[in-house]
Amino acid sequence: MSNDHDTHRTQDQATQAAERMLPLVPLGIGIALASFAATVAAGNAPSLQLPWVPSLGVQLSFQLDGLSLLFGLLICGIGALVLVYAPAYFGDHPDRHRLYAWLILFMGAMLGVVLADNLITLFVFWELTSVSSYMLIGFKHESQKSREAALQALLVTGIGGLALLAGILLLGHAGGSYELSELITKRQALQNHPWLIPTIVLILLGAFTKSAQFPFHFWLPNAMAAPTPVSAFLHSATMVKAGVYLVARLSPIFSGVPIWDDSSVVDGSLTALTGGLLALQQTDLKRILAFSTVSALGMLMLLLGLGTPTAVQAAMVFLIGHACYKGALFLVAGTIDHCAATRDVRKLSGLARMMPLAAVAAALAGLSQAGIPPAGGFLAKELIYESALKLTTWVVPVLVLVFFANTSFVAVTALVAVRPFFGQPSQASASAHRAHWRLTMPPLLLGIAGLAIGLWPQTAGLFLVAPAVAAAGHAGDDVYLKLWHGFNLPLLLSIATLATGYVAFARWPKLRAQQLRLRWLYHWGPETGYATALQGLRSTATWQTKMLQNGSLPVYLSVVLLAFTALVGWELVDHIDIPQSGPWLEVRPYEVCIPLLIIAAAAMAVSTDSRLAAVCALGVIGFSVAMLFVMFGAPDLAMTQLAIETLTVILFVFVIYRLPRFTIFSNRIARLRDAALAVAAGGVMTAVVLAATFAHTPSRVTPFFIEHSLESAKGRNMVNVILVDFRALDTLGEIVVLAIAALGILALLRLRIDASDSEESGERRQAEQYERSPRASRSLP
């Protein structure tokens, strides 16, 4: 026993050691990427190409330019911190290893998306992120809510993914290559291509669904069903930015096309507005953060759509800042949830005493989110205002919009980063336990990283922002980041933002109550559309299955016969070529009797309501067919037919009285309809026979049999020789079929089934016997 226990403990220790090593994977990749920083900053783009499907122009080609480096470092950095955090968050959850595997897979896929140079490769990685996101959101798979949220995210991003694939194919065809680096050089030709508009619409559909842009934003807050470390990694810092990445990546090709720029501006604005408004309605920490992420994603899309050098620069700085502070805030939310067992902001206050480090982390992240100097977020906000003010058109609407979004960020900061930590400890806070260092260090590091960008803006500008701006199609030389711009309009706007945001926070309960009165609007929201579409899909599938797979043999056969009659009949009517004379019209008087007899017997078999009469009619037909065989030179067939027919009649007579009487189940109309169909299909068969007769050519195989029957097989009866010699294997197969049929019949006849003696009860009885017998029960496990 003790030995077992030791083994178990050793195993546990090994598992824990492996868990501790996990962050080294992203860390190593991150350091490797960072080692290229100087090369990339100098304007080079190291690349790697491996053949994959060369015949389709698909290769595993990767390129590391400024944009890839920026995203790659974010993915690895936040990935490493999340993996440091996760073991403490999950404790000894039995499924945690599966989660780590999916997290690592997701990270690899995400790195693939941002490093790929080939669009098809990019798409494959893109879909992999959707799939791993599905598994991660559905981690708590026992909960129906989790499963629905996972499916929703998968369907929304999956449909967008399909659109993206179509767009990529159009782009690849138009540009003659799937390599991004080549397509960028063909900007002029691509912009004049007739497929330009559909290409752009399809690609943007992919980007907008992935980055949760309006009206697809609803999946992101629902994805909060995922464990918090997952939300921090996928649904705030990395995956949801894939759409933003794609737009930035393709901007050098499409920027300047009105539909490309305007779609991003308009939809980004709508998203920023929706997210900002809805964030303040929530009470769950994670949902507040999720909606404010939606708002931030909209802001990023808006900035990229504006497309001016300042705006793109602002987007890149904001992107870094947002990834750091939002990741940190999510992790802090997870820590609070873990220690205080609630995420409801109304129930949380005074947590700073219990978890001072988490409070510091939240404060640092909050500085950045609210845009207070010297944090990186301040830098981003100044740049955002600057780019709005520098616009030549639409200055006021854009300014109002970004002002609103920034105000919402300030209010959200106060709500999630300040309020839970100060004031008198609430009941939930008082019962909270202390946080493990793993739960506080990662957010703290992210908070410090956000601060560092503000403190050393030139370094961040030189190595991260400028190369990324250059990759997005603007001169990176203009990038010169500094914290202090002097007293100017953006600074004034920043101060106004802080003031308004504080007011919004102070009046939050009232504000929320007012907004909640508009809840009825949700009934017309896009999520209702999603639900309706899904319901429609389900009921259509059910209806279609019931239509096509209704289980009724007559219906299936009717469909088959109808299709046969229509298709073959049509083809024959179109092609048949009737000769005016020939042997097909010659009839000897005595030959007429047999066919007439067959037809009459068939009519009787169909119309009689006596089972015996039907069997007799079948016999008449069988013996008549034998007569025809005799008349047209087939004595072997005739003999076989006579023997078999006799057997069949005997068999039927034996069985028929154990069968139910002929019953008429169907009504008159159904019978007439079936009769019409049967006669039409029979007519087509007649036409087929005639068409085959007209096209008859002498067999090319027959001379062989005539020549070799006597010589090689020593037989004069050619039919016999074919059966037992030339095609003896066929005959063997036939015998096997008969033997199997005979075995089947025997088994069916000996099988004893009735209501009281079903197989199940038989098994139960056997089991009972086992239980009663002491000897047998001992051998049972």
Partner 1 sequence: MELLLAITVGALYAAGFYMILRRSLVKVIIGLALLGHAAHLFLFTVGGLTRGSAPLLTGETAGRVESYADPLPQALILTAIVIGFGVQAFALVLFKRVYQTIGTDDLDQLKATDTGS
Subset of 559-578 contacting partner 1 (CB under 8 A)? 561
Q: Which is nearer to partner 1, 400 or 603 (CB)?
A: 603
Cβ-proximal residues to 396 (8 Å cutoff; 6+ apart), any chain = none
| 131 binds partner 1, rule: CB under 8 A | no
Q: Which is nearer to partner 1, 92 or 586 (CB)?
A: 586
d(CA 90, CA 229) in angstroms, rounded, equals 9
Buried b (16+ CB within 10 A) or exposed e, 509-533: eebeeeeeeeeeeeeeebbeebeee
Classify burial at 681, counting beta carbons within 10 Å of its beta carbon; exposed 0-12, middle 13-18, buried 19 or more.
Answer: middle
Cβ-proximal residues to 135 (8 Å cutoff; 6+ apart), any chain = 102, 150
Q: Are 499 and 334 in contact (CB under 8 A)?
A: no
| 690 binds partner 1, rule: CB under 8 A | yes
Q: Are 323 and 360 in contact (CB under 8 A)?
A: no
| 651 binds partner 1, rule: CB under 8 A | yes
At residue 216, φ and ψ (nearest 5 deg) are -100, 10
DSSP readout, 485-520?
A: --S-HHHHHHHHHHHHHHHHHHTHHHHHHHHHTTGG
| 588 binds partner 1, rule: CB under 8 A | yes
Among 18, 395, 603, 728, binds partner 1 (CB under 8 A): 603
| Shortest distance (Å) from residue 553 CB to partner 1 | 5
Binding-site string for partner 1 from residue 205 to residue 224, where x marks contact by CB under 8 A and - marks none: --------------------
| Shortest distance (Å) from residue 543 CB to partner 1 | 11
Cβ-proximal residues to 625 (8 Å cutoff; 6+ apart), any chain = 598, 641
Segment 661 to 680, residues that bind partner 1, using CB under 8 A: 662-666, 674-675, 677-679
| 513 binds partner 1, rule: CB under 8 A | no
Among 169, 418, 572, 605, binds partner 1 (CB under 8 A): 605
| Shortest distance (Å) from residue 567 CB to partner 1 | 16
Q: Which is nearer to partner 1, 89 or 629 (CB)?
A: 629
Among 744, 764, 767, 769, binds partner 1 (CB under 8 A): 744
| Shortest distance (Å) from residue 564 CB to partner 1 | 10
Segment 298 to 357, residues that bind partner 1, using CB under 8 A: none
d(CA 106, CA 226) in angstroms, rounded, equals 14
At residue 48, φ and ψ (nearest 5 deg) are -145, 135
Q: Which is nearer to partner 1, 498 or 722 (CB)?
A: 722
Segment 614 to 643, residues that bind partner 1, using CB under 8 A: 614-615, 618, 621-622, 625, 628-629, 631-637, 640-641
| 745 binds partner 1, rule: CB under 8 A | yes
Q: How many residues bind partner 1 (CB under 8 A)?
A: 107
Among 98, 353, 727, 765, binds partner 1 (CB under 8 A): 727
179 DSSP 8-state letter: B
Q: Which is nearer to partner 1, 43 or 635 (CB)?
A: 635
| 713 binds partner 1, rule: CB under 8 A | no
At residue 101, φ and ψ (nearest 5 deg) are -60, -45
Q: Which is nearer to partner 1, 47 or 608 (CB)?
A: 608
Give the alpha-carbon dihedral of 594, 598, 604, 606, to 10 degrees: -170
Among 731, 761, 773, 777, binds partner 1 (CB under 8 A): 731
| 767 binds partner 1, rule: CB under 8 A | no
3-state SS assignment for residue 253: helix
Among 7, 717, 761, 773, binds partner 1 (CB under 8 A): 717
d(CA 572, CA 680) in angstroms, rounded, equals 13
| 95 binds partner 1, rule: CB under 8 A | no
| 754 binds partner 1, rule: CB under 8 A | yes
Among 698, 729, 759, 760, binds partner 1 (CB under 8 A): 698
How many other C-beta atoms can be found within 10 angstroms of the C-beta atom of residue 374? 16
Segment 416 to 455, residues that bind partner 1, using CB under 8 A: none
| 593 binds partner 1, rule: CB under 8 A | no
| 652 binds partner 1, rule: CB under 8 A | yes
Segment 16 to 45, residues that bind partner 1, using CB under 8 A: none
Q: Quick one: which segment of 217-225, 228-236, 493-501, 701-709 binds partner 1 (CB under 8 A)?
A: 701-709
| 151 binds partner 1, rule: CB under 8 A | no
Among 52, 66, 51, 28, residue whose Cα is nearest residue 466: 66
How many other C-beta atoms can be found within 10 angstroms of the C-beta atom of residue 766? 10
| Shortest distance (Å) from residue 683 CB to partner 1 | 6
d(CA 733, CA 737) in angstroms, rounded, equals 6
63 DSSP 8-state letter: E
